[in-house]
Amino acid sequence: MSDAAAVEAASGHAGQMDAIYRSQRHIYDLTRKYYLLGRDSLIAGIAPPAGGSVLEIGCGTGRNLIAAARRWPDARFFGIDISEAMLETARAKVAAAGLSGQIVLAQGDATAFDATALFGVTHFDRIFQSYTLSMIPDWRGAIREGADKLAPGGRLDVVDFGQQERLPRAFRAALFAWLAKFDVAPRATLQPALIEAASEAGATARFRPLYRGYAWSGSIMRPAA
């Protein structure tokens, strides 16, 4: 894809996300609380080094960053999202939580962003992507971009919808049909994509299903220098 085509695609995706969430952002956290499983376990395991940097790619309303910043007050937190509508809500929530000095937000494309220009930070000790890959057209590119932004010894953590492999077929069919209404597509090849991205980055990967396959969790770990 040419640079011009990539910019056009990103612009189109940003508009699509703004259209979907311009109204939903006001009730997003309340309605997603009970089915975006695995987010809090991911946050509890971030464990950044003291003074370390943590980036959320696809930060949405800021809910995860606020929870993480409260749990790890010695770290610096950053978030990007392609939707300016979501960022408007995130900025308000971060300010209301009194965390504007600890959390910095910016608009950016998960598949290609300049962290130095946005935040003055080149690489991050921890990066996470929570229920975003199932909404990003070039989701493999988003994984590669995250892995590329890891500092030595850093880790990228991912949680997203699984394939419901140990749940009833009727449940899977109903869930997937409902998710499709919001342009959400669980990624059946998430595990090999993580392994491939880790290999390209000279890192290692791990993967595990959660809640009988309702969600999948994975990580890419870059070796220390």
Give 41-73 pLDDT, tens digit per residue.
Answer: 999 999 999 999 999 999 999 999 999 999 999
The model carries a pTM of: 0.86
User: Tokens at residue 209, please?
Assistant: 């299903």
pLDDT value of position 219: 98
Instruction: Give residue-wise pLDDT tens across range 125-162.
Output: 999 999 999 999 999 999 999 999 999 999 999 999 99
Give pLDDT, residue 5: 40
CB 213 within 8 A of CB 162: yes
CATH superfamily of 3-221: Vaccinia Virus protein VP39 (3.40.50.150)
Question: Taking the domains of the chain in order of start, what are their residue ranges?
Answer: 3-221
Q: Over 70: is that where the pLDDT of 190 sits?
A: yes
Summarize the confidence of residues 180-186 as an average pLDDT: 93
Report whether pLDDT(192) > 90: yes
Cα angle 162, 166, 170 (rounded to 5 degrees) comes to 85
Q: Residue 15 corresponds to which tokens in the numbers above?
A: 């508009």
What b-and-e string marks burial along 102-111, b requiring 16 or more CB atoms within 10 Å of the CB? Answer: bbbbbebbbb
Percent of the chain with pLDDT over 70: 85
Residue 17: pLDDT band (50, 70, 90) is low
Residue 127 structure tokens: 């990066």
